[in-house]
A and B are shown apart, each in its own frame.
Chain A
Amino acid sequence: MPPRMLPEPTPETRHFWDGCKAGEFRLQRCTECDGGSYFPPRPFCPKCGSRKVEDYVASGKGVLWSYVINQRPRPDMGTEPYAIAVVKLAEGPQLMTNIVNCPQTPEALELDMPVQVAFAKQNDDISLPLFEPVPPSSRKAA
């Protein structure tokens, strides 16, 4: 299997990927307007254009927002069908990801189910922010 297609961080996104490596899901927010959190990373607020933004460690929690189950796996992704998913984060932004520790079926992948980040180390520099279902036992607490 060819090596998985991985991101190449840029100076503007390095803090996000460094966070993933450290086991932290980092988002950014504006300190000038109340534009809220945004993603993907950039050194200014996409709502008001201010450069006064800060990184923070977000909850890493959200819900399964939408997905497809790709039946024709990309060679670097193995041989089994997998879901290409979008998670809506508790803080508002949404991101593409994969759902792990879960059967890749329409029955198991229920829209709006709570999910949490599960970092998957790829090499010394890159860990991908994948998501997994929040176990039913801990859903109430969350």
Chain B
Amino acid sequence: MKQKSIAVVGAAETTKMGKIPDQSVIGLHADAALNAMADAGLKPSDIDGVATAGISPTELAYYLGITPTYADGTSVGGCSFMLHVRHAAAAINEGLCNTVLITHGESGRSRVGAGRFGASPSSLNGQFEMPYGPVGPPSMFTVPVLRYLKTYGLKPEDMAPVAVIQREWAAKNPRASYRDPLTIDDVMNADMIAWPFTKLMCCLVTDGGGALILTSAERAKDFPQKPVYILGTGESVETPMVSQMEDFTSSKAFRVSGKKAFDEAGIKHADVDHLMIYDAFAHLPLYGLEDLGFCKPGEAAAFIRERNTAIGGKLPLNTNGGGLSYMHSGMYGMYALQESVRQMRGIAPAQVPGAKVSVSHGVGGMFGASGTIVFSNEAP
């Protein structure tokens, strides 16, 4: 992709966040979409491309009254929206459409108008994982971590600073679900969910949504908001079964997606002013920092403990509070993207002063998929 050929011109989350029992899944998609259209000064008739996961792009387009010439229903879990951004950029560059709306909405907590969980017993997961008793992500996404810890001589408490430091960021964010300070002891003494993971090492389960609107950089300057340009993008998938991950200490999808995005953007790690790594659980930022190349293998826990990712640190990470403290509806990737856009617009509640390059890195499934977007606020 040509650098800075595409820009985000509309970005918004749902009006409410957290517990929203009076809106269904499709209602959350629509609320976020209408907010993003208002942000961009657009009406549904101005949109000619749609992308979403969780519901189909057909439902989204019909519900909002959009007649698209481009529809993307890529659904690979929580990072689907990173892939949507990547595909939308390619589609706009190729002339398939001009203005793409990407939406997310999920009633993760209230389950209003939400589908059911569960794999078919004849699927790969149904045959080779579900018989052994996993109960959703807390007891699956976490399975590789003991091998990671043993490989690098680490202990479960080495994951606790991830939660503590993200809570410090959340304290600055009025929309964050949890804002009270945490200590390492608080994290370690919280209810055990799936040893070695306590409740405070696991993401929240909340309701919410978000939407983005993308168009060409050339058109972007005519929109009301400061454009946020796309420098580079990456994506990959590895396996639908966490047990089949090639290496329990590193995600292949992370490595492939991250490298692609960094190469395309032509940036070095030192150029990154702000970073979002999808944190469904406390180990995700460790794998992310290492697989994206910010830390050597096994060194991310110390990097976080030494406050490099905290307020005032050299690499501010998960500045909205993350999935651990801000919100997590189920497919959190959209909120990582939203925070990157806010940081690039200079309007984040915990704004990183002078930030010019932001990286948003997502995971889908249980290390199953990945998407990476590099943003910049500097005009081409």
Which of B61-69, B141-149, B339-347 lies on the face that meets chain A? B141-149
For window 35-81 of A, CB contacts with B under 8 Å fall at: 39-40, 65-74, 76-77, 81
A to B CB contacts below 8 Å, 28 in the list: A5-B121, A7-B127, A8-B122, A10-B122, A13-B127, A66-B146, A66-B147, A67-B143, A68-B142, A68-B195, A68-B196, A70-B134, A72-B139, A73-B133, A74-B133, A77-B133, A84-B132, A84-B133, A84-B134, A84-B194, A86-B143, A86-B243, A86-B248, A95-B243, A96-B132, A96-B134, A111-B146, A128-B132
A70→B194 contact, CB < 8 A: yes
A66→B143 contact, CB < 8 A: yes
What residue in chain B is nearest A5 (Cβ atoms)? B130
A65→B124 contact, CB < 8 A: no
Which residues of B are found within 8 Å of A66, using beta-carbon distances? 143-147, 248
Number of chain A residues close to chain B: CB under 8 A: 36
Which residues of B are found within 8 Å of A6, using beta-carbon distances? 121, 131
Chain B, residues 189-203, CB within 8 Å of chain A (1/0): the string is 001111111000000
Q: Which residues of B contact A (CB under 8 A)?
A: 120-122, 124, 126-135, 138-140, 142-147, 150, 191-197, 241-244, 248
How many angstroms between the C-alpha atoms of A108 and B91 in the bound complex? 54
Chain A, residues 68-105, CB within 8 Å of chain B (1/0): the string is 11111110110001101110000000111110000000
Which residues of A are found within 8 Å of B241, using beta-carbon distances? 40, 96
**Count of inter-chain pairs, beta carbons less than 8 A:** 112
What residue in chain A is nearest B150 (Cβ atoms)? A111
Q: State how many angstroms separate the Cβ of B157 from the closest Cβ of chain A.
A: 13
Which residues of A are found within 8 Å of B128, using beta-carbon distances? 7, 40, 95-96
Which residues of B are found within 8 Å of A97, using beta-carbon distances? 132
**A8-B122, A86-B243, A111-B146 given; A128·B131 CB < 8 A:** yes
Chain A, residues 1-16, CB within 8 Å of chain B (1/0): the string is 0001111111001000
Which residues of B are found within 8 Å of A106, using beta-carbon distances? 195-196
Which residues of A are found within 8 Å of B132, using beta-carbon distances? 84-85, 96-98, 128
Find B140's partner among A5, A71, A84, A128 (CB 8 Å cutoff): A84
Find A8's partner among B121, B138, B139, B248 (CB 8 Å cutoff): B121
Q: State how many angstroms separate the Cβ of A123 from the closest Cβ of chain B.
A: 12
How many angstroms between the C-alpha atoms of A72 and B126 in the bound complex? 20
Which residues of B are found within 8 Å of A94, using beta-carbon distances? 243-244
A84→B139 contact, CB < 8 A: yes
**A8-B121, A71-B195, A96-B243 given; A65·B133 CB < 8 A:** no
How many angstroms between the C-alpha atoms of A75 and B241 in the bound complex? 22
What residue in chain B is nearest A46 (Cβ atoms)? B244
Q: State how many angstroms separate the Cβ of A40 from the closest Cβ of chain B.
A: 5
**A7-B121, A86-B243 given; A71·B192 CB < 8 A:** yes
B131→A70 contact, CB < 8 A: no
**A10-B122, A73-B133, A94-B243 given; A68·B143 CB < 8 A:** yes
What residue in chain A is nearest B199 (Cβ atoms)? A71
How many angstroms between the C-alpha atoms of A9 and B194 in the bound complex? 29
A40→B244 contact, CB < 8 A: yes
How many angstroms between the C-alpha atoms of A77 and B122 in the bound complex? 19
Find B139's partner among A4, A65, A70, A95 (CB 8 Å cutoff): A70
B194→A71 contact, CB < 8 A: yes
